[in-house]
A and B are shown apart, each in its own frame.
Chain A
């Protein structure tokens, strides 16, 4: 049954009709695709779990895991982390189910890995739906090995789940495009709602869907079906505002949204253009773009779907200048699909067309495209492998991994610091980590007392000097990550250390290479005890 379907598809595309060789080719494609998918899943799993626990949580991971712990009533943490902080709680509530059985930071990351690998599988299904097994398997492989997706899906972040549901949304849309069955459009509405419940920034995916439907008239959509899909999406989204309201925290969500919309940019406009291409894979991007050009004669609603998926979020985050490394992760499967589509097509097309030109003949060798595929895979795998190695620098990009020494410092705090002692850190990032691992309240000095200039999730220290004198802040924490980002507040914190008899009680260090290549031990976190 499956073979005959592949044959039919090949006939529509390639025209040539030789039944036996085509049947063999189809069998080969099935075998090759499955083999590729298995290898991709195994390699992708390896890249996602290799030394996954070598470093503790970063600030975002600490917040999400802390929320999950609060939902699960993990002792200590449920008093420190408010359940409602900023984002919807789908990922956190899933994680909380695990925390109810066993609490550990590793389990949170493993959940992210499972979600990441599930996204690879859905990408395969989507690729298969759009272009057939081989392009689907190649796209899945690219995503499985892609540094961007590998790095983010090793962390307790919401973006992995958001990407999973975004991919599922486009899978259902692809099915709708293919079958024209409204049930798939309704499923797309539900999946889009789940994407929102993963992270509210994905609301822009609605734009992708409408741009796609507007640019693809061949995908006929009845207005009433569209309205129904929107209603389903609204119903799916409803738990977010309803749970906020029922818990009496509705102002938390709206304050955060307002702050997000009007906060000052935290990156340059060139951020995504410079940071993302190496993370997605330069070769993947090139193959995708070249494929769009050279396969332009095959363009259909399929490419419109993928391009709308990529360009709407990209344009939105470029115009809306609040950028996080992981914000554009949902477009990664689309890029992988375009690259998979191009290479899959070239491999399958080669030798089926005869050319007289030697150049054309050269480019008509399947081996050439297999070689190119291997090159793309190796480049992705190698970059990912480098990225997942333990960090040897005291500075890093937020969202790209754990914080060196953070977990160890937190655990030291939990073990050695009196219960209910309060900490002051340079910024809120380290405060979150200390709260999660140290189970002590911590406040960032850099959090502005002006509500217009701070994330409403954070409590500012209105008068640090007074609070130290009142013995309300007893420990100050310097860390290299925050000090590099906020040298002003790092100096300010050290001023308090010096003024209030600061005494080093704990230091976390890492071994790094200096500019001359010598191995040196550098402090990354220093905990001071102060008293009035």
Chain B
């Protein structure tokens, strides 16, 4: 009897909980209505590129300074320097990007260890000085041409992917205590999704090729697929794994397309890749295709009119960057990374120089939906509202090409040649008919006069 009562109570709690979640997700209270025209924020976090690596040669940005040279060994100038070089189709590898590599490359703020740090780890140090340009990542450069490119957006941690992804969702990056489990620490750390859930603001975490069975509990047995646990930091939180009201928000990327078609895009959508992450040495072209498909679907959905899309890169990936990161606390900032904002309200072809990091995304969410901050970082972070112009005529959706317009040959305007050529021959024909007609008429008149004279 007792068991039945307990079961009934449990069932009622679960149903009530679900109903409560549904009601909250469907209609956030007045208090949490967006304060700007942005009702949907979509953020894609790609992998491992610095700003200089992708946009160092983009016109008008704080990019690779002229005359840049990197010593092969800062302690031995005789070994010479390496200048930035265009990667193009050159073969690259996964450059070391651990916290210790960062320390060596950063070299106490001298920023001169990019090559030596890799050489000392048995990698080809000159790889770090490679960069891509508009011919390699044309779609991203086209996005920058049309929307907003941030050139002072820093990765949050001087570390690899996990730490930066943690800042992206929680504004902190705790470490596991000695002999303890990270999940125990995380149990007490709120994420932006906890806040959104509580506020009744809808959210989803979309994962390319999502496998719900891969969580922190399976690390060590799933090979390369374990990157899912790093790129979806929520899979390190017990509550986001076990509580269906939370775990049901972590879904495969296919659901993103379905949600767009059903006009059900949540207010906040985080997206992470799987194979299309651009993590060296994987294909940057496939990463562009991945991002392009996501943006295009957003653009042709009803959500576009009230959306903002952010493309960001989680860490520097071992690549060179010339900007010495600001020291805001013991963890960061890391090197500056490429970030692009696409929105109907984004300024056109605008380069935003605001100092930002991943917690600025949290800041935007918190301010837009009136949500309490999570930690000190996001409390103090700058917002990126300067990149919007809410008074402008919203951008119409545009499917930008995957080629750079500058390489297309300039067409000659043939209209003048056509008008002159065809016009003059038409006049010529009219003239010939006129002359023939005139001569015939004159001949007739002559004949008539002759007849009359006779």
Measuring CB to CB, which residues of chain A are less than 8 angstroms from any residue of chain B?
A: 1, 71-73, 83-84, 89-90, 93, 96, 168, 172, 175, 179, 181, 183-184, 186-187, 189-191, 193-194, 197, 232, 235-240, 242-243, 246-249, 417-422, 469-472, 474, 501, 503, 529, 531-532
Asked whether A232 and B432 contact (CB < 8 A) given A243-B421, A418-B399, the answer is: yes
Which residues of A sit under 8 angstroms from B429, Cβ to Cβ? 187, 190-191, 193-194, 236
Asked whether, in the complex, the Cβ of B425 is within 8 Å of the Cβ of A419, the reply is no
A227 nearest CB across to chain B (Å): 15
Which residues, 417 to 454 on B, are CB-close (under 8 Å) to A? 417-419, 421-426, 428-429, 432-433, 435-436, 439-440, 443, 448
A171 nearest CB across to chain B (Å): 9
Q: Out of A93, A181, A186, A189, which one reaches B418, CB within 8 Å?
A: A93
Closest to B261 in A: A503
Asked whether, in the complex, the Cβ of A470 is within 8 Å of the Cβ of B289, the reply is yes
A22 nearest CB across to chain B (Å): 19
- How far apart sit A261 and B299, CA to CA, in the bound complex (Å)? 45
Give the interface size bracket for B toward A: 35 or more
Q: Out of B292, B398, B402, B436, which one reaches A175, CB within 8 Å?
A: B436
Kindly supply a per-residue 1/0 record for chain B positions 388-414, scoring 1 wherever the CB is within 8 Å of any chain A CB and 0 otherwise. 000000001111111000000000101
Which residues of B sit under 8 angstroms from A417, Cβ to Cβ? 300
B290 nearest CB across to chain A (Å): 9
Asked whether, in the complex, the Cβ of B435 is within 8 Å of the Cβ of A187, the reply is yes
- How far apart sit A351 and B16, CA to CA, in the bound complex (Å)? 106
For this complex, 21 residue pairs linking A to B, each with C-beta atoms less than 8 Å apart, are A84-B414, A93-B422, A93-B423, A179-B440, A187-B429, A190-B432, A191-B433, A193-B425, A194-B425, A197-B422, A236-B429, A242-B417, A243-B414, A243-B417, A246-B412, A418-B299, A419-B397, A420-B400, A420-B401, A422-B399, A474-B300
A18 nearest CB across to chain B (Å): 22
Which residues of A sit under 8 angstroms from B414, Cβ to Cβ? 71, 83-84, 243, 246-247, 249
Centre residue among A193, A232, A471 by max chain B CB count within 10 A: A471
Which residues of B sit under 8 angstroms from A187, Cβ to Cβ? 429, 432-433, 435-436
- How far apart sit A248 and B411, CA to CA, in the bound complex (Å)? 9
Q: Out of B289, B415, B433, which one reaches A190, CB within 8 Å?
A: B433
Asked whether, in the complex, the Cβ of A71 is within 8 Å of the Cβ of B418, the reply is yes
Asked whether, in the complex, the Cβ of A172 is within 8 Å of the Cβ of B292, the reply is no
Closest to B429 in A: A190
Q: Out of A83, A93, A471, A501, which one reaches B296, CB within 8 Å?
A: A471
Asked whether, in the complex, the Cβ of A89 is within 8 Å of the Cβ of B418, the reply is yes
Which residues of A sit under 8 angstroms from B448, Cβ to Cβ? 1
Other A-B contacts than A191-B433, A471-B292, A531-B296, 4 sampled, CB-CB below 8 A, are: A96-B415, A179-B440, A418-B398, A474-B399
Closest to B435 in A: A183
- How far apart sit A83 and B426, CA to CA, in the bound complex (Å)? 19
Asked whether, in the complex, the Cβ of B400 is within 8 Å of the Cβ of A71, the reply is no
B257 part of interface (Cβ distance < 8 Å): yes
Which residues of B sit under 8 angstroms from A172, Cβ to Cβ? 433, 436
- How far apart sit A181 and B425, CA to CA, in the bound complex (Å)? 22
B297 part of interface (Cβ distance < 8 Å): yes
Q: Out of A1, A84, A470, A501, which one reaches B257, CB within 8 Å?
A: A501
B293 part of interface (Cβ distance < 8 Å): yes
Asked whether, in the complex, the Cβ of B300 is within 8 Å of the Cβ of A238, the reply is no
Closest to A248 in B: B412
